[in-house]
Structure 1
Amino acid sequence: MSKRAHCTIERDYERSTKVTIERHGERPSKQTKNSTSRRRVTPKTRVFTASSSFKPALEHQGAQLPSAAPAGGSGTSDWDSLNKILDELVTSDNDDDLENATFRDDEIDDVQPKETAFEDATLLETGDAGTRPGSRTKKHPKTPNEVLREWLDLWRDAYLSAWFKRDAPPKGFCAFCLESAVQIYRCTSCLNSLPSCSACLVNTHRAQPTHRIQSWDGAVWLEASLAGIGLITYLGHDGKPCPSSDDNSQLLVGDLDGFSSIAVRYCHCDLSTLKPKPLQLIEIGLFPCSHVHPRTAFTFRLLDVFNIFCTLGRTSAHKFYLVIERITRPGFPADVKDRYREMIWTHRRYLHLLNLRRAGYGFQRHDTLDVHPNDQALCCPACPRLGFNYEEDELSPGDRRVILNDTDRVYDGNFRCSRKAKKVDKGDICLSDGLAYFGQKERFKEWSSTVVQPARTEKPMCDHHKAGNDTSFRGAGRDITGIGAFTCTSHSCIMPRGMVDFTRGELFIYADWALGNVYRYLSAKGKIPIGMTYDVFCHWFVNYLSRLQRLPPELRPPEDLDIRGALPKWHALGHDPQCVIRWSIEYMQHVGQLEGEGPERVWAHFNEHSGSTSEQGPGHRTETLDNVAVQFTFEKIIRMETSLPVRFKDAKKMLIRERKNHEGSTASIPADTLQEWEQESIEPYKLANGRWHSVFADPVLKGGFQETLQDERKKESSTTRVPGQRPGAARWVSEGIELEHSIHQYNEDSKAHSKPTPRQANSLDSKRLALEERIQTFQNRCSFYMHGLDEPDRPRMQKIVEEDGEEKNVDLGLPSSFSPDTLASAGLSSLSDLEKRLRRGTCVDALQSVKRVLGARSATINFKNANVRGQIATTRSQSIIKGHNAKILKAQWRYENSRGALQALGMVQADQDQFLELRREDLKPLKLYYEEYAQKTGHGITSMSWIWRSEVAPNDKWQVEALKTEWFRSRERYKRWNEQLILLKREMIMAIRTFQTYQVLWEWRSKNGQPIPGMEVYARQRSRFFGELARRMFYACQDHLWDDVVSLRWCDEWLTRNTSGNQLCDPSAS
């Protein structure tokens, strides 16, 4: 292969010609300013000379290359010199000559005028704000705006001229047969709209009858049709005319190019009874709207794209139809025949057949793998499934709890996916009933109308949640008030049969029904442990055994069901401390970093479809939600090869960091104290007074936020209700205070990730969407508690960092956003007093947190100064101290935020005396005050920080307790990240094994039974598709699977058996 230099010549249409020599290959050595050394022209490149191939190309675009020297040049010699050098390189047949060919610096400078030469012509050629790999890159790449400005200056007019040229009059002859034609046509759907005669256009469009064409009338291009110039689509004889028929039928076809009328000729042979007209259309890729007398059809391509747009693209069917209508007749939509209903009806049938194909309908059933025949749902491949990605005899007792992580399921309800109480056809049908993500509808309707939810025999720990009560929601005008769903915790994939419709409030019987269906699906090959998180698990858990026994026999779990539950992380703040101690997922083992909030991500996607589904009939609505769930889960599945390695890398970094932090914390603890702590259990336990406690619990102060909230809740009972204060006001105000803290935490996270990775950006977006939904829900309830008041007259704005980095102001509408006079005139003084008491409690908690963490920081500093030596150990200690500082500042913000609200509500004298301004100089430990005191003379005006003199948060052995709590939390954070890496290894292996299982299943289907030829090919394609997923997953994850940062025996043994070197063994070969 000859080796050539690559010279790119571009034309400046407004100034003068510019020439740039572009070199590829090795980076040249740096040259001094006056260097005259020779530069090497690197090989394996291409040459265009101004006198050869590139010159006609420029002239074709309308540019005139100068025959004389460029403007600013010294004559023709420069231009000719460049051509001479390049021509010698092109015509050389000696590779050695080309290899040794060089340019001198002065030669390059002479032929490239400095005033006009492009600094980076490659940028325009690549179309991106960068250069080709291997090319010489600039120190400062051009920004997108600079590239756009360059395009505007140099290329805009040329682009526009080239675009106009597409509409230029034809030359009067056909570009295919080169014969002159009276009438010239062109196809606007083809990539190159060449002028053509009618005969050539028909011949080239036998297989594209839906393409849009135009005819030239001597002045403009007019719309025409292929059927109008003689194109007939022949059916039944592989594109040839039927010898038994000469009748043509008109068929309106919807395609991505719009609606068009085509001429078809059906087969009328003696065997036509075996191929009715609808089937003849299906065979050529048209789905008829009627199976009796088809007059309209849609292409498979349109139906497939529509299916993606209305699920992944979250576009309604009506919007999609408007797009097709616009494409068909821009500016004149009334000219397009209305086929909206036909499109919906056809898509339902198309989707049903598509799901049957993917479910293996019509294939022979496999004895062991087809445990759910005709199953149309997709299940998370990374979650444990007995018989699919693990076998019972593979697990040792030590691996069982790790492999079968029993908090892999999350349940939650959503009231935005409702259905209006509209008239329903008597024969309403659902094509996916009981086969996808909902259980059997009629069976559920019959059971839920007869079963009675048992009364509670045990009062929950926190009684301010209304979930489970029929009074928690009023769905006027709706026959379906919402949906509930189970998802997997790690990836938010929706569980098959795990969705359920609400017909009243969020009753627990709905969660029971969904759990029974999910357990039946997962335990098809044997009994398994199961776990779940639920935002009101503390309520659901009461009487759950008796409720589960009321399920239909086929859904009833065994009486000895191994079940464990927890509260998800984001909802833990809404629960009492006692409840959090007992049920929080953060304090459980073998859960890694699972937060238990999977459905919250799903609802953001489903809610965008709620406008359409609320208008649909019951059957169509269920099919739509099943379809959305399939596409949502499929998108999660195909991106696991990217998401799992990224999560593993992030978890490994966090493990290293938390291990260092914990080792630093452990080093500052005396050995005897450490030995005593290590013997303590982290499981919650019940005290003699009936309250729950654990090593993670913060000490509850007299007058703190939680105690104040409990006292206020007691006041809302029917016998001690406060005048002018509606029931639930204490909970509403407390949620507002907690919401302010959540907003501040989100803002801090956003600032910490000013340049986030894609995964961090997605996480921040999820948090922001969830936060905005909480704010909207809170504000909607504001009018109920703040009755009689309009907009706040003294708003206390909370700033939320938007996705683009801008800040948005939000006022929650708490009493502190109104002046005392306004509250008094509206009769809401009692509500104002309520917020005052809760704000005081928040200030007390914040002060105590400041003092406790100051003590922990002081102890860490003391140990560091006394024992830590060396750069690594010092850096580790500094990291721990930095973490303490962040906690102190966070507590300071909480204090100042609530103190500001107290000031807005009106402080009494006691508040002014107790809750002083908490400044940075007040955040000092006692030890530092004593040291400064001893070093000073004259202490007449010296005093310690007021936080140590305040009686609001007394000093009672806070230092030791703070160290103990922080040590346990540090240890568990480290252990959770270690578990997270183990779980990620498990997920990688299980995903690979699931894909391989489906690969084997589809390969078996292609060879067994009596499939028709098309079924056999389809089965092999599906087998190869899953095989490719398995291979890609393995290659993306293999480095992490062999990483010994954590060890999982089950993983290592499977890799040893099923890999050879760095290759994944083909399971179908065995």
Structure 2
Amino acid sequence: MLGFIRERNKILDAFLRREGRGTGWEDGCMDESCLNTDAKYRCQECFARRLLCHACIVKRHQDEPLHIIEEWRDNYFQPCSVASLNESLRLQLGHLPAQYCNFPNGPHPMVVLDNNGIHQLEIDFCGCVGAPSICDQLIDIGWYPATKTAPETCATLSLLKRFHTLNLQARVSAYDFYNSLEVVSERGGMQVVPDRREQFTLIAREYRHVQQCKRAGRGHDELLHGIEATAPGECGIDCRACPVPGVNVPDEYAPEDAWLYQLLLSQDANFKLKGRDTSSRDKDPALGPGFAYVVANDQYLAHLSKYISHCVAFAALWRANNKGAKGLRATGIASVSCSRHEVFRKNDTGDLQKGERYSNIDYLFFMSIFGIALSSILVSYDIACQWSINFWKRAKKMPSYLQLPPGLRIQFKVPKFHLPPHVKKCHGPYSFNYTKGVGRTDGEGVERNWSWLNMIARSVSVMGPGSREDTIDDFCGYANWRKTVGFGSSRNSLLRKLVLAIPKAILHGQAFQAFTEGVREGHEDELEAWEEEIQAWEADSEKKCPYEYPEEQDITMDSLRLLIAQEEHARAEKGASKTNTPGAFIIAAMELEEHQETIRLEARRRERTSIQAADLQRKRTQTLSLIQRFRDEQVHFMPGLKSHLEALRPSGDTESTSRPEDMKLHLPSAWPATLRQTLCITGLPEEEERLRAAQAWDALRELRRQLRTRMLAHQFKRAHTSGQAAYTKSQQLHNSIEQRIRAAATSYKTARAALLSLRGPGEWETDLRVLTNQDIRGMNERTLNEQEKEEDRRARNIVGADELDEFGEVIERTVRFNLEMGEGNRFLSWIWYAGGAGAGSTTDEGKLHDDIRIEWAKARVRAQRWREELLLVDEEMRRVLVYCGWKAAWWEARAGARTNVPHDLAEGLRAYATEQAVRERHWQSGWQAKWAAVRARSRVALLDEGVDFARHPAIRVELDDEVPYGENGEGDDFNDLD
């Protein structure tokens, strides 16, 4: 920008210079063969805008009637037209340039909409015997008429293509686009232009429909049935990465590979795409009902009418005076897309008349799989757990043309993001994570499609029914086209998926093997039992889910918080005091302890910036305020505390508040049992004991989880981290994990110390033992032996100082990562056992904790899903390449399908089909070469999950997130298919 600032005065002068006649005008007309000295005309559209005389400007624009001409008059350039310069000039259609018709049909006044504005001129049509129709004559010169007989308005195909692209990519509405043409033409209100907004909207809609049919090959129909014979969904774009029977699915495959050829679908409703009750289908019919993505309305409503009370007309349904539906024809839409590639399915979209009814969803789902010849389908839906109930009963009631083929297997799942709010019994059976054959599919594809369609929600809401459906069809088609081109692009591509999946598959495969070997010796029977339990659940999801904690062991702080909240609500209903319950009081104290521990840790930081120091002081102030409010509340639950503290404190001595992290909270566990009855209300010590036990188990569970995370992070770092930047980033991750491990350990120690005070020594210590630094180690870690400890101390002495962390604490290495499978598996820390087995015992080992079983089961499915992802993406690449070859052959066969047609039409048919076939062949060869190296690399990973890629040559793959869509000529324009 500095260069521009230096040169902007010169640039401004250059702009102003263009307002005048420039240099050389004194010599007259700038046409080389002209000697006229009166040169005062120039064209805005022509190159260099030469100054020409009247005769030369007219001669050059005999066949350019839409160029903007300017005349130098009254010391400035004023707009004029070619027609105004030559009143005898008539544009003759139906003949070659410079030829005139002996039987001209005209003159006809015509308003022409072009990229540079709105033009008015007169034209002559050819009236010769056998002349083409008026519509054909106009389209032949690139003008599309608003009506097909006696048209008075046209739009150039160049303008329509530009609007179509801007409408799809930038969501520029027809209203705004036409207004921009008026602004260009009016020139600040100096000219009056005719209003052709309505005609332009009609033309744009017709153009879009014809282009859709053209791209689908309807003009190449060998049976000459034309657009009227279009089959349901024929104008839609397939997902070529999904299995398409008869195209990219093998005729025969092994039964164990059947999962590779199942169809993964997602469906959902969208209530932002409403449709107002404007116009009617008689006045505004859909141009292509059921041709692409939106289902044919007549059949759709005929099916829905079965579920409407016969005493009320069906039309009254969408006029019902219910909340959010008054004045609406449609309260939203529902749609189905493929789960993995987010491509809209053919005949998958339809209006919702009154909420998200099963009758609507069923019809759209069945239409989206219309005519499918696959053996297995998996469909995700945010309420699949409810929708799947009685699904097969409803399926039998569907119309005859939507009956499912025998033997079809359908699985129902809930998208990953939508699953957590469901009740616990839904989590296992409806989870993608625990489902075989889905790879890393999340089932949320249709939700991402909504973000695209919602951009046109406001404009389509006011359209008539037919316009609305045609527009949604067009936008769904454009979205599918972008994703088709994106299969070979640099972002959101199959290549990116495969590149990301390879290290993940290796990492999780190795992690699972290490995990399994780490517990195998001495626990072989348990491993076999775990495997049998998982297989039994996979065969029957009604059995105990191996990925969830048993209900009787699921006593956590969260569950106790819920119970306490319910108790408080019950007290409020009885009109009890607004004072918190004992449980809420203890929870508040425990949260204060966490605040204090956070501040203590921060206060020990060796080096602190001004911002960090200010943040520390702010936290101390907030914590002090919380403690003061806590003390006010403490009077109600520990009424004897204040007098007891005053008796213990020397006269005149006050509690320091400069370091609130060190202020004692004086909970019941801080006092001997003999004093608790005096200081506390009845039941308070018991309430703290209950909550401290939950805190201890929660902390232990979190500690185990973070140790598993540390193991995975360390494996990944060792295998894949190289270079200073990557090492620094990896180290930050490890420091974060270590902080969470430290926090979990501190929370456990605090809870256990409180329990020891409240309960005293007892059998409970068998399960909740003393936690030492040596106990905090993962499944694949072992304690250092004495020799290793001595070597570590000797190394620190050589350096001359102890190694300190960022908080000034000595880093004492007590464990060593042991990643080699099968080693170090005999000496698991006690935290991994249930029943309190002795750490390091090889003969008296106890039963492994349920956390280990669950973590092992989850590690197993993680490894399986990532391995499946490798296989799925590789298969999807194969399907894409096969589809490209099939589509190329499809177009080649249609190049000469229509016979007995005029030569010029036959040539156009052949040229268009050839162009499409060449594009498909180009994609096939280009993508195959682009993917070959990575596909080969993925197969190495599949052959040996434990492969060390350091022994294999690296393959460089450019994946640039900043590359704009369609760069490098890969098809950034939907109209590239035209």
Q: Normalised by the size of structure 1, how large is the TM-score?
A: 0.60
Cα distance, 1:206 vs structure 2? 4.2
Residue correspondence of structure 1 range 495-514 to structure 2 within 5 A? 495-514=345-364
Residues 823-848 of structure 1: per-residue CA shift (max 9 Å, x gap): xxxxxxxxxxxxxxxxx999999875
CA–CA separation in structure 1 for the residues paired with 2:375 and 2:55:
68
Contact 1:212–1:225 at 8 Å: present in 2 too?
A: yes
Cα distance, 1:174 vs structure 2? 2.3
Amino acid paired to 1:558: P
Cα distance, 1:422 vs structure 2? 2.8
Residue correspondence of structure 1 range 676-715 to structure 2 within 5 A? 676-677=526-527, 680-681=531-532, 683=534, 693-700=544-551, 704=556
In the alignment, structure 1 residue 165 sits paired with structure 2 residue 17: yes
Moved more, 967-976 or 690-699: 690-699
Is the alpha carbon distance of 1:527 and 1:197 closer, same or farther for their aligned partners in structure 2, counting shifts above 3 Å? same
Amino acid paired to 1:443: Q
Contact 2:281–2:466 at 8 Å: present in 1 too?
A: no
Moved more, 443-452 or 547-556: 443-452
Contact 1:432–1:623 at 8 Å: present in 2 too?
A: yes
Which residue of structure 1 aligns with residue 193 of structure 2?
336
CA–CA separation in structure 2 for the residues paired with 1:1039 and 1:863:
27
Equivalent residue for 2:2, pick from 149, 159, 166? 149
Which residue of structure 2 aligns with residue 837 of structure 1?
none
CA–CA separation in structure 2 for the residues paired with 1:494 and 1:720:
53
Is the alpha carbon distance of 1:683 and 1:252 closer, same or farther for their aligned partners in structure 2, counting shifts above 3 Å? farther
Cα distance, 1:872 vs structure 2? 6.6
Give unpaired runs (5+ residues) of structure 2.
310-319, 576-625, 631-688, 747-754, 760-767, 778-788, 790-833, 838-845, 944-978
* 2:772 alignment partner, SS class: helix
Is the alpha carbon distance of 1:374 and 1:410 closer, same or farther for their aligned partners in structure 2, counting shifts above 3 Å? closer
Which residue of structure 2 aligns with residue 377 of structure 1?
236
Is the alpha carbon distance of 1:682 and 1:224 closer, same or farther for their aligned partners in structure 2, counting shifts above 3 Å? farther
In the alignment, structure 1 residue 295 sits paired with structure 2 residue 152: yes
* 2:864 alignment partner, SS class: helix
In the alignment, structure 1 residue 430 sits paired with structure 2 residue 282: no
Residues 574-624 of structure 1: per-residue CA shift (max 9 Å, x gap): 112220111101111221111110111111111111111111111111101
Which residue of structure 1 aligns with residue 114 of structure 2?
255
Which residue of structure 2 aligns with residue 1032 of structure 1?
926
Equivalent residue for 1:205, pick from 61, 65, 72? 61
Equivalent residue for 1:926, pick from 754, 771, 774? 771
Structure with the greater relative contact order (CA < 8 A, sep ≥ 6): 1 or 2?
A: 2
Cα distance, 1:649 vs structure 2? 1.2
Equivalent residue for 1:539, pick from 364, 382, 386? 386
Residue correspondence of structure 1 range 362-373 to structure 2 within 5 A? 362-365=219-222, 372=231
CA–CA separation in structure 2 for the residues paired with 1:365 and 1:711:
72
Which residue of structure 2 aligns with residue 242 of structure 1?
101
In the alignment, structure 1 residue 194 sits paired with structure 2 residue 41: no
Is the alpha carbon distance of 1:965 and 1:686 closer, same or farther for their aligned partners in structure 2, counting shifts above 3 Å? closer
In the alignment, structure 1 residue 439 sits paired with structure 2 residue 272: no
In the alignment, structure 1 residue 592 sits paired with structure 2 residue 439: yes
Cα distance, 1:253 vs structure 2? 0.9
Moved more, 382-391 or 421-430: 421-430
Cα distance, 1:955 vs structure 2? 9.8
Amino acid paired to 1:695: P
Is the alpha carbon distance of 1:480 and 1:374 closer, same or farther for their aligned partners in structure 2, counting shifts above 3 Å? closer
Equivalent residue for 1:174, pick from 24, 29, 53? 29
In the alignment, structure 1 residue 611 sits paired with structure 2 residue 472: no
Equivalent residue for 1:565, pick from 399, 412, 429? 412
Which residue of structure 1 aligns with residue 820 of structure 2?
none
CA–CA separation in structure 2 for the residues paired with 1:545 and 1:579:
20
Equivalent residue for 2:911, pick from 1017, 1022, 1030? 1017
Cα distance, 1:890 vs structure 2? 7.5
Give unpaired runs (5+ residues) of structure 1.
1-147, 454-469, 725-815, 821-839, 897-909, 915-922, 936-952, 1049-1070
Is the alpha carbon distance of 1:860 and 1:999 closer, same or farther for their aligned partners in structure 2, counting shifts above 3 Å? closer
Is the alpha carbon distance of 1:472 and 1:427 closer, same or farther for their aligned partners in structure 2, counting shifts above 3 Å? closer
Cα distance, 1:1046 vs structure 2? 4.7
Is the alpha carbon distance of 1:970 and 1:1016 closer, same or farther for their aligned partners in structure 2, counting shifts above 3 Å? same
CA–CA separation in structure 2 for the residues paired with 1:929 and 1:419:
66
Which residue of structure 2 aligns with residue 997 of structure 1?
886
Equivalent residue for 2:702, pick from 833, 853, 857? 853
Which residue of structure 2 aligns with residue 658 of structure 1?
508
CA–CA separation in structure 2 for the residues paired with 1:422 and 1:276:
35
Amino acid paired to 2:31: F
In the alignment, structure 1 residue 965 sits paired with structure 2 residue 814: no
Amino acid paired to 1:327: V
Contact 1:582–1:684 at 8 Å: present in 2 too?
A: no
CA–CA separation in structure 1 for the residues paired with 2:322 and 2:384:
16
Which residue of structure 2 aligns with residue 462 of structure 1?
none
Cα distance, 1:998 vs structure 2? 1.4
Cα distance, 1:860 vs structure 2? 9.5
Residues 52-109 of structure 1: per-residue CA shift (max 9 Å, x gap): xxxxxxxxxxxxxxxxxxxxxxxxxxxxxxxxxxxxxxxxxxxxxxxxxxxxxxxxxx
Is the alpha carbon distance of 1:887 and 1:924 closer, same or farther for their aligned partners in structure 2, counting shifts above 3 Å? farther
CA–CA separation in structure 2 for the residues paired with 1:290 and 1:983:
51
CA–CA separation in structure 2 for the residues paired with 1:1025 and 1:163:
42
Is the alpha carbon distance of 1:895 and 1:424 closer, same or farther for their aligned partners in structure 2, counting shifts above 3 Å? farther
Residue correspondence of structure 1 range 946-985 to structure 2 within 5 A? 960-985=849-874
Moved more, 421-430 or 629-638: 421-430
Residues 799-822 of structure 1: per-residue CA shift (max 9 Å, x gap): xxxxxxxxxxxxxxxxx9xx99xx
* 2:885 alignment partner, SS class: helix
* 2:773 alignment partner, SS class: helix
Residues 652-693 of structure 1: per-residue CA shift (max 9 Å, x gap): 232233334334434532434366426615758679x99753
Contact 1:472–1:505 at 8 Å: present in 2 too?
A: no
Amino acid paired to 1:179: L
In the alignment, structure 1 residue 265 sits paired with structure 2 residue 120: no
Contact 2:710–2:734 at 8 Å: present in 1 too?
A: no
CA–CA separation in structure 1 for the residues paired with 2:208 and 2:404:
33
Contact 1:500–1:513 at 8 Å: present in 2 too?
A: no
Contact 2:118–2:182 at 8 Å: present in 1 too?
A: yes
CA–CA separation in structure 1 for the residues paired with 2:340 and 2:469:
25
Amino acid paired to 1:995: C
Equivalent residue for 1:487, pick from 337, 357, 376? 337
CA–CA separation in structure 1 for the residues paired with 2:106 and 2:458:
45
* 1:1039 alignment partner, SS class: helix
Instruction: Supply the RMSD in Å over aligned alpha carbons.
Output: 4.7
Amino acid paired to 1:673: H
Is the alpha carbon distance of 1:880 and 1:162 closer, same or farther for their aligned partners in structure 2, counting shifts above 3 Å? closer
CA–CA separation in structure 2 for the residues paired with 1:558 and 1:873:
48
CA–CA separation in structure 2 for the residues paired with 1:841 and 1:489:
46
CA–CA separation in structure 1 for the residues paired with 2:193 and 2:450:
36
Amino acid paired to 2:124: R
Is the alpha carbon distance of 1:576 and 1:267 closer, same or farther for their aligned partners in structure 2, counting shifts above 3 Å? same
Is the alpha carbon distance of 1:364 and 1:623 closer, same or farther for their aligned partners in structure 2, counting shifts above 3 Å? closer
Cα distance, 1:328 vs structure 2? 2.1
Percentage of identical aligned residues: 23
CA–CA separation in structure 2 for the residues paired with 1:954 and 1:601:
47
Which residue of structure 1 aligns with residue 842 of structure 2?
none
In the alignment, structure 1 residue 361 sits paired with structure 2 residue 212: no
Contact 1:999–1:1023 at 8 Å: present in 2 too?
A: yes
Is the alpha carbon distance of 1:969 and 1:877 closer, same or farther for their aligned partners in structure 2, counting shifts above 3 Å? farther
Cα distance, 1:375 vs structure 2? 1.2
Cα distance, 1:186 vs structure 2? 1.5
* 1:216 alignment partner, SS class: strand
Contact 2:709–2:737 at 8 Å: present in 1 too?
A: no
CA–CA separation in structure 2 for the residues paired with 1:622 and 1:720:
56
* 1:223 alignment partner, SS class: strand
Is the alpha carbon distance of 1:294 and 1:372 closer, same or farther for their aligned partners in structure 2, counting shifts above 3 Å? closer
Equivalent residue for 1:621, pick from 456, 468, 479? 468
Contact 2:233–2:293 at 8 Å: present in 1 too?
A: no
